[in-house]
Amino acid sequence: MSVSYRQPGVVLTDRRFTVPLDHADPAGETIELYAREAVASDKADQDLPWLVYLQGGPGFGASRFIGRPAWFGRALKEYRVLLLDQRGTGASTPANRQTLPLRGGPAEQADYLTHFRADAIVRDCEAIRPHVTGGAPWTVLGQSFGGFCAVTYLSLAPEGLSTALITGGLPSLDAHADDVYRAAYPRIERKVAAHYARYPQDVERARRIADHLLTRDVVLPNGYRLTVEAFQSLGILLGGSEGSHRLHFLLEDAFVRTPGGAELSDSFQEQVQAQLSYAGQPLYALVHEATYGQDTRPTDWSAERVRAEFPRFDAAKALAGDEPLLFTGESVHPWVFDCDPALRPLRETAELLAARTDWTPLYDPARLAANEVPAAAAVYHDDMYVDTAHALTTARAIRGLRTWVTDEFEHDGVRAGGPRVLDRLLALARDEA
């Protein structure tokens, strides 16, 4: 039964759907999907076109909006919006350390998780679309990994789309994970340099914290082992519009005087564990590199292996000299399954996924080259999470796709830019700009 309720200016309806775990076996096991339908209060009785929003990630449920902020308010001016919790996330059938043992051991868990990539998400959308729209095609808005899913949608089921809108999420069609991270580390270093140029006092602060972690075993209140590599991964903040400022405020009060000497403050530790813990989104850690798997080559902890090609990211070497500590960015490493108590039970499962060699293709270059769906993409110049050169190569491979390349926003431009990003994409897709 669907349940409707109201927020200021919005009518919301909970929607639940049953879909096959494996769309190649429609009579087999099923899982549940949750989505929240939203419509402006003054349009609740109107027959509006639909827009389905695919959240970034992988592994994050759809945004829980209060009211009509950012792109959401703009979309509600002319669409009914479906905020889909992609399989395994949010209120959909969960996949985490508590539920995955129901599948069996690590091998069974890894097999199960192969069904949580972009191709399965697109098949889910096509399975529920007739129940939502009555069979009419809908507009997809894909942010980050949601944009990867939108490109898969254009490859597998373009007949389901009236328009495709992508923000910070044009993937390489053929790059291995190694190629992705070889392009990423220099980009991350530029973001760190920009942060230190803005906040030069953070150079010494970061070095002091790293030195403390290299000489002590620090366990955060939730049981997370804060190693220096884990501390460096706070650089993921630098990909967002407010991230540099947030990192600065985090670093400025890291230490407190105690009878035993300087220690990391409770406040600092609380903020760090909230940022680093994967308890709320374990799928991100489990299938992040699998989003790049498309052939017989294993991903094999690509970010960790490729990092060794960039020795400036070695904290011990930086501290031994006078180099600034480099933070890292959007990457998952094997040590996180030792550090994070939410992931420790899943270490062997993650190892099996990293070794897998039977990934199926996620994109169809021939179909993309013949695309007829109106499409537009925001490409953020020097996006820390998605390589600009890769994105533009893919843009040229999708027939009719129009791009807006801008350095006005970071990766979260669709949120930080209010209605402007969606406005621009809709104008491009409609050939009004």
The residue whose two tokens read 């914290």 is 209
- Cα separations (Å) of 230 from 210, 328, 336? 10, 9, 7
> 183, 119, 87: which is closest to 364 by C-alpha?
119
Q: What is the chain's length?
A: 433
CA 235 centroid distance within chain: 15
How many Cα neighbours within 13 Å face the side chain of 223?
9
Q: What average pLDDT does the segment 132-145 reach?
A: 98
The H or E element containing residue 354 is: helix 347-354
Query: What is the C-alpha to C-alpha distance for residues 169 and 385, in angstroms, rounded to an integer?
Result: 9
Domain ranges of the chain: 3-174+363-429, 177-354
**What are the beta bridge partners of residue 5?**
12
Secondary structure tally for the chain: helices H, strands E: 18, 11
Output the CA–CA distances (angstroms, integers) from residue 290 to 94, 295, 343, 400, in the order listed.
Answer: 18, 11, 17, 29
Q: Write out the two tokens for 119.
A: 């191709």
Structure tokens at 416: 């930080």
- Spelled out in words, what is the top-level CATH class assigned to the domain 3-174+363-429? alpha beta
pLDDT in tens, 371-402: 999 999 999 999 999 999 999 999 999 999 99
At residue 128, the pLDDT reads 98
Share of the chain above pLDDT 70, in %: 100
Q: Is the pLDDT of residue 422 over 80?
A: yes
Position 1 confidence tier, pLDDT thresholds 50, 70, 90: low
Distances in Å between the alpha carbon of 53 and those of 121, 149, 203, 274?
A: 12, 11, 39, 26
- Give the confidence band of 173 by pLDDT, cuts at 50, 70, 90: very high
Query: At 134, is the pLDDT very low, low, confident or very high (cuts 50, 70, 90)?
Result: very high
- The encoded tokens of residue 410 equal 């970071």
Per the rule left: phi > 0, alpha: psi between -120 and 50, beta: everything else, 225 is beta
pLDDT (mean) for 15-42: 98
The string of pLDDT tens digits covering residues 248-269 is 999 998 999 999 999 999 999 9
CB 121, CB 32: distance < 8 Å: no
pLDDT at 3 over 90: no
Q: pLDDT of 72-85, one tens digit each?
A: 999 999 999 999 99
What is the pLDDT confidence band of residue 148, given thresholds at 50, 70 and 90? very high
pLDDT digits (tens, 9 = 90+) for 358-374: 999 999 999 999 999 99
* Contact in structure between 413 and 168 (CB atoms under 8 Å): yes
The Cα–Cα gap between 155 and 376 comes to 15
Task: Tell me the catalytic residues.
Answer: 144, 358, 411
Q: pTM for the full model? A: 0.97
Tens digit of each residue's pLDDT (9 = 90 or more) over 215-251: 999 999 999 999 999 999 999 999 999 999 999 999 9
Instruction: Sheet containing 138-143: give its strands across.
Output: 3-7, 10-20, 30-40, 80-85, 50-54, 138-143, 161-167, 375-380, 402-406
User: For 403, how many CA atoms within 13 A lie in the half-sphere containing its CB?
Assistant: 19
